Chain A
Amino acid sequence: MSAVTQTMNTTPSAAPEGELLFNAIRDIVRDKLAPLTVKIDQGYYPAEVLRALGEAGAFRQHLASQNGRGEYDLQAALKAMDIVSQQCMSTGFMMWAQDVVCWYIEMSNNEHLKQTLLPKLASGEALGGTALSNPMKYLAGIEPLLVSAVETEEGFILNGTLPWVSNLGPDHWFGSIFKVGGDNPRDVMALVNTSWPGMELKQLAKFCGMEGTGTYALFLKDVFVPKNHVLGDPLIPYLKKMKAGFILLQTGMATGVIESCIQLCEEVEPKLGHVNCYLDDRPDELRVELDDAREAIAGLCETPFNPDPDYIRTVLEARLLGGELVLKAANSAMLHTGANGYLFDAPAQRKLREAYFVAIVTPATKHLRKEIDAMAAA
């Protein structure tokens, strides 16, 4: 508990903002990230890059309690992610994971975690992942909840397995939603550490890209979670509050990859413009679509707690658009760059694999369409 007394009542100093922040991030991308991009795609986990991004202030823009400005600046968090994803979407994806694990605590009523852990996660000193893929599909009626719990006086004892949770490693944090049995059956969300007794991380699958994202299968066997790590109980009002932010924060990955795909098309324009003009989805057309998407997302970022169903639906649509547009842009980058884009370490084919990830990661395109369809009938 000593950490509590140390950090209690200290107002966080103002995080860098605006161009100061974005230039710092561009420097990190150029100096630290760019040389590692291909390695990350193949399996290297860039902890040092994530910590540098955290130190620069990338993970606390959306946290009113941590950025010194008292505002939920989702737009700045997204722009940081966009800049990074232009170079390496694996790292952009891990920024989302980190942003969201912070968002979990920020949106909770858990003062203990806000005082102790949140400053460390927000600065990149501690790292963590979301682990909400299964719960989100559970809430959309796609699959059952995979972690169950028994409640005790002091906390919960968790058992279950979660496939494919990202941005993990030893002593990382993740948010877990579990089904509590017994006298008071309900769903509860809490923050869990990967090094707690009973936790096991296994790297079982090999993916076709984005291998350096610290993605593991999580095995929980009698893992004790103390009550002071509970984030949401009752769960549903808590999830409703954070849902729009959770989804909006993903869109920076998509816009970053789209931007870089457009740049790949533009770069070969002097060389191939005379024949590329016969292709669909030309860079100028994609640019218009990206500008429209960014504008729409910026508007949605202004009111992350708007409970209006129309607002939530538009957030889902914006995320859906990101998934559709990124595939179109990556496909275009392949066709525009031609054989040079097909080379083993060519950015275009890496972008293509990154783009599919945007459309597949929860909430996936099919998941979003299902939710939007359900809302249409309400």
Chain B
Amino acid sequence: MNTPRWICKTCGWIYDESKGDPDSGLAPGTRFEDIPEDWSCPLCGVTKADFITLEEYAAQRGASSGPKNRPPRAKGQVGGEDAVVIVGSGIAGWTVAERLRARDPERAITLICADDGCVYPKPALSMAIGQGRGADDLVEQSGSDKAAELGVTLQANTRVMGIKPADKRLMTAKGNVKYGQLVLALGASQRRRAFEGEAADDILRVNDLASYRKMRERLESGAQHVTLIGAGLIGVEFAEDLHAGGHRVTLLDLGEQLLGRLAPPPVAARLLDALKPQGIDFRPGVSLAALERGGASDCAGYRATLTDGATLATDLVISAMGLVPNIELAKKAGLTVNRGIHADPADMRSSDPHIFALGDCAEVDGRSYFYIEPIKRQAEAVAAAICGESAPFERRPTAIRVKTPSLALNLCPPDLSVADQGHWVLESENATACRMSFLAHGKPVGYALSGAEAAQAGALYETVCTNMAASS
């Protein structure tokens, strides 16, 4: 690169001494001054006299006409140095786009997502069968329509491979994207565990529309037997919805009851009583050990071996062992992560001042929020902070309405700050109805309501909020 080079003023051909011009008999290494005068430019035929050094050439042009700054580009802009780039098209990602647009009509916003960006209500994934809705029926708006409505640049079907916080850019499978401010709405994934058996890779984890669609395709061929691993919120809701679709269900959980981390035993027992008549077979203290292909055909028919040694024939296995925040990108980028990506409740800012995190991937004061209501408030906090305003995310108790049609259930588990400072108290019970409060220092800071008692949730939630606000 540093060998002397001369350029033809007429056509721009470059004579490089190290390469020579072998076609004209100039060996590599021939110095320019040693070139015979009758030699001519191999491209346009002018003589040696029409050559000048590259430095002279650059001095003539660059200094006079070269713009100092990068001139504007023709290409449509994905991201940009002044743009807000949102990663993720779930409820968290789109809500930030909405709130940001509401506060600032002019701001350049790009949303990048691995899927097609379509808008759908995620809670519906565990009730759609019973409602007679297919995967496509759940789509409220296409990603491109939503983007056009909000004036957002959508870069769909693009996964973010890396974040370079120091240079404020993302690496994607379609090339680099610059950002001014970055919002991580990366969601969570169903926990993976390695199971034994040749069919272990066939186990489904349902946490978005794409995986949900796959599940529904697998169930299309008529009534099936489905094994659900995990009897938490997703597990019990799926169990009942699958049953509503005419499928037989076996529900496994290593714990001794349904909704182990959310509901006290008397309430969980009532749910079990409601599920049993539907033929939902709950096996407490048991999980899957191995999954083998059972039948002659390799697309359906499995033999599941359980941890207690029992075996069962099943057509589909769904794993719902709990959500794990997607933190890998943030971790690799050097952001502070714990179970989720650390975010400050004041503005949902991560440990990097130009990066925000919210929704299932975020962790605020040691808590993850996998529910819609707090995500919407987190989105408000992010949008406000980006616009230089303030709308801090307040911690409120988590109210959960369990989507089990056979038994109304409203739960508000105690916050972790009081979980070890109190106990559940049974306040009333009558057949399916049950009302329990979690008392800390004598005051209710959580509840679990079933059946007719579930209707009391509104009033009780206010009480719990008041008590929690007073205690903090």
Residues of A within 8 A of B (CB): 267, 270-274, 277-278, 280, 282, 285, 288-289, 292-293, 296, 309-310, 313-314, 317-318, 320-321, 324-325, 328, 338, 340, 343, 369, 372-373, 376-378
Contacts and interface: CB of A to CB of B under 8 A. Distances in A.
B313 interface: no
Contacts of B210: 373, 376-377
13 contacts: A270-B62, A271-B7, A273-B62, A277-B70, A280-B73, A289-B176, A309-B192, A313-B159, A314-B161, A317-B173, A321-B174, A324-B174, A340-B43
Interface of B: 1, 7, 12-14, 43, 54-55, 57-58, 61-62, 65-67, 70-71, 73-75, 114-115, 157, 159, 161-162, 164, 167, 169, 171-176, 192, 201, 204-205, 210-211, 213-214, 328
Nearest to B215: A377
Contact of B162 (A277, A278, A296, A328): A296
B114 A318 contact: no
A377 B214 contact: yes
A317 B159 contact: yes
Given A288-B169, A292-B171, A325-B175, 14 more contacts: A267-B1, A271-B61, A274-B65, A282-B70, A289-B175, A292-B162, A309-B192, A321-B171, A340-B12, A372-B159, A377-B210, A377-B211, A377-B214, A378-B211
Given A280-B75, A292-B176, A270 B54 contact: yes
Contacts of A338: 12
Contact of A340 (B13, B55, B192, B214): B13
Provide the main secondary structure of the chain B interface. mixed
A278 B54 contact: no
A273 B7 contact: no
Contacts of A292: 162, 164, 171, 176
Contacts of A293: 171
Contacts of B175: 289, 321, 324-325, 328
Nearest to B159: A317
B218 to A, nearest CB: 11
Contact of A280 (B12, B67, B74): B74
Contacts of A272: 12
A250 B263 CA distance: 53
Contacts of A289: 171, 175-176
A317 B169 CA distance: 17
Contacts of A314: 161
B14 A271 contact: yes
Given A270-B58, A325-B175, A277 B67 contact: yes
B56 to A, nearest CB: 10
A328 B164 CA distance: 21
A270 B161 contact: no
Given A270-B55, A280-B74, A296-B161, A310 B328 contact: yes
Nearest to B203: A378
A321 B173 contact: yes
A272 B7 CA distance: 11
Contacts of A296: 161-162, 171
Contacts of B65: 274
A313 B326 CA distance: 15
A282 B71 CA distance: 11
A343 B164 CA distance: 39
A278 B71 contact: yes
A372 B175 CA distance: 17
Contacts of A309: 192
A274 B62 contact: yes
A277 B71 contact: yes
Contact of B204 (A317, A328, A378): A378
A277 B214 contact: no
Contacts of A378: 201, 204-205, 211, 214
Given A271-B57, A274-B65, A292-B176, A369 B71 contact: no
Given A292-B162, A292-B164, A372-B159, A274 B66 contact: yes
B121 to A, nearest CB: 19
A320 B173 contact: yes
Nearest to A328: B175
Contacts of B43: 340, 343
A353 to B, nearest CB: 21
A288 B157 CA distance: 23
A283 B213 CA distance: 43
Contacts of B204: 378
A369 B157 contact: yes
Contacts of A372: 159, 173
A273 B176 contact: no
Contacts of A285: 176
Among A280, A292, A293, A296, the most chain B Cβ lie within 10 Å of the Cβ of A292
Contacts of A343: 43
Contacts of B213: 377
